[in-house]
Amino acid sequence: MALNLKKWFNIRESLQLLINADSSSGRYQLFRRNIRVLMIVLTIAPLSMMALINYHQYQSSLKQEMIDPTKLLVSKTRHSFEFFLKERQSLIKSISHFYSHNDLCDEKTLNHILFTLKKEFIGFIDLGLINGSDGTQACYVGPYKLLGKNYVNQDWFQEVTLKGTYISDVFMGYRKFPHIVIAVQRFEENGESWILRTTIDTTMFDNLIAAMGLDAESDAFILNKEGIFQTNSRLYGKVLEQSPLKIPTGGHATYIDERKDPDGKDIFLTYSRLTYPEYTLVIVKPKSAVFKTWYALKSDLFFVFLASSILIVIVIFRLTDIMVNRIREADHNREIAFRELQHHHKLSSIGRLAAGVAHEINNPLAIINEKAGLIKDLIEYTPDFAQKEKFSTLLGAILQSVSRCRTITHRLLGFAKRMEVEVEILDLNELIEEVLGFMEKEALYRNIDITLELARDLPKIDSDRGQLQQIFLNILNNAMAAMEDEGRILISTWEKDADTVVASIQDNGCGMSEETCRHIFEPFFTSKKEHGTGLGLSITYGIVKKLGGDIEVKSKEHEGTTFKIFLPKKSIA
């Protein structure tokens, strides 16, 4: 028996440590936080890496898709410029071969040729014949008085005599408007040479640039090899001004350069050099304009990433709350199961202990009771006994203590033996009122207010009358013991669902701590010091379970206690 008790106390201590550890709220908070951090890292990190990789891939791809059309546009426009200039140069060269020097010296013939050129082609302004030997203008048709002008000392004259052809840079000259000169040299069979020279305005240059269809933020222009504007620039200067943009030399492909302009703006500079003359076609696009579509897409990608991250975090928080709550609920159920196991183990141990203790104690108690009764009778029948009154009082105390011990042993025997259930149809409200009849005098004496809130339509139940009476008597006795005089007890009944009715006993007594509430159904646990046996609520708990019901307790120190007894309508016994 001693070994069983020791084993029981060890199990109780181990289970209590486990319950206290599991019920710690900090443990669940730490568990919830660790899961959230882990899940966020495992989801947001790959998503961030994927978003970063896609960001650079999309940026590179879109950059290429936006730059390639610009390079293609520059290449096509360069070819248009080259075609325009070569076409004019070929026309002048063809005229120099179709007509002789004498024909071109005739002003009427030269004028007719110029008229035809103006009619069929754009840009021709004048036409002149220059002697190759002395550089004198031999014949001229056009808006200016250039007949007899000598060009022998001019650079273009030297170049055309060396190369046979010449296309000038844009210049103003006598005309005070931008134009270029195209000249070709013709050699006669006798060794003499002459030069056919024409002036072409640069309106076609502007038309070709306008045909590129650039947006308002972009710019396109022509530069010569010294970096002088051959056309007006929308952003950087006028024709014949020095360009602030430095163009790298060499190569005739189409190039693109990412840089800052003189105003500090990020730009893409696309350029391509003409084969002849040494012009450079330049397109300038602000980086913001080039990446306008990318910026819009980047904003959408960022919004999608942010929304996805927020959604993931919300889902993670929700799932972790659900998971931790379920774990907490499982731990709570495990705690209840451990308590049930603990309680049943205690009941089993106490049952075996009680059977032995009750029999061992009852025999000495019977002897003490008989001997004390015999001594009392002898004193009563001895009229001359001097200490009769004193001994009678002492014997009464002995007999009262024996009676109390007998009550305890009877309770032990009732707790130890299997209580048989006698089922009958009962009105729970009537049974409660019947139990209160046993306690009316004490309640009246202590001025305790007992209020009934019993459901009128409460259905009858199948249960054991005597055991239900014991349940309510034990709980009501505890309620009165926990209250001062002039306390209050509220008894309520109601139907919980189709299978269960509930009786509630609420008092405004001293209440219990949370620790005490966890142990009140344990055998021999009492808060009444030397005045309690610790068996009342244990027996009550066993009876309720045997009847197929359940019992709950809620209490707060200095405020009171509420017991709820859940009873099945149909007996399971």
Q: Following DSSP, what letter does each residue of 233-246 receive, concatenated? A: BTTTB-TTSBPSSP
Please name every residue paired with 197 in a beta bridge, in sequence order, or none if there are none. Answer: 128, 183
Cβ atoms of 426 and 389 closer than 8 Å: no
Average pLDDT on 515-542 reads: 71
Q: What is the pLDDT of residue 349?
A: 63
Better pLDDT: 451 or 401: 451
Q: Is 414 helix (H, G, I), strand (E, B) or coil?
A: helix
Question: In 3-state terms, what secondary structure has residue 295?
Answer: helix
Angle, helix 536-546 to helix 388-416, in steps of 10 degrees:
30
pLDDT of 501 reads: 94
Interval 247-290: pLDDT, tens: 988 788 899 888 998 888 889 899 999 988 889 999 998 887 77
Residues of the chain with CATH 3.30.450.20: 99-205, 214-290
**What's the pLDDT score for residue 2?**
41
Query: Cα separation of 534 and 560, whole Å?
Result: 20
Q: Please, are residues 165 and 89 in contact by the beta-carbon 8 Å criterion?
A: yes
Top CATH class, 419-568: alpha beta
pLDDT-derived band of residue 399, with 50, 70 and 90 as boundaries? confident
Q: What is the pLDDT of residue 113?
A: 94
Q: What is the mean pLDDT of residues 479-490?
A: 87
Mean pLDDT of 288-293: 72
- The superfamily CATH assigns to domain 214-290 is PAS domain (3.30.450.20)
pTM of the model: 0.50
Q: How confident is the model at residue 3 (pLDDT cuts 50, 70, 90)?
A: very low
195 — phi, psi (to 5°)?
Answer: -125, 130
Q: What torsion, rounded to 10 degrees, do the Cα atoms 506, 512, 516, 521 define?
A: -20
Q: What is the predicted pLDDT for the residue at 532? A: 55
Residue 433, CA atoms < 13 Å, CB-side half-sphere: 9
491 and 498 in contact (C-beta within 8 Å)? Answer: no
Q: How far apart are CA 428 and CA 214, in angstroms?
A: 95
Using CA atoms, how far apart are residues 200 and 180, in angstroms rounded to an integer? 5
Residue 527 has a pLDDT of 65
Q: What is the pLDDT of residues 137-167, one digit of tens each?
A: 999 999 888 888 999 988 889 999 889 999 9
d(CA 328, CA 518): 18
pLDDT at 412: 60
Number of residues in the chain:
573
Q: Is 239 left (phi over 0), alpha (psi -120 to 50) or beta?
A: beta
134: which residues sit within 8 A by CB, 6+ positions away? Answer: 150, 152
Over residues 442-466, mean pLDDT: 88
Residues of the chain with CATH 3.30.565.10: 419-568
Q: What's the pLDDT score for residue 18?
A: 47
Cα 413-415-421 angle, rounded to 5 deg:
105
Which of the two residues, 10 and 433, has the higher pLDDT score? Answer: 433
What are the pLDDT digits (tens) for 75-116?
999 999 999 999 999 999 999 999 988 899 999 999 999 999
Nearest to 114 by CA among 171, 196, 203, 185: 196
Average pLDDT, the chain: 83
Nearest to 32 by CA among 310, 324, 311: 324
The neighbouring-strand residues paired with 150 are 136
* pLDDT number for residue 219: 93
What's the CATH superfamily of 99-205? Answer: PAS domain (3.30.450.20)
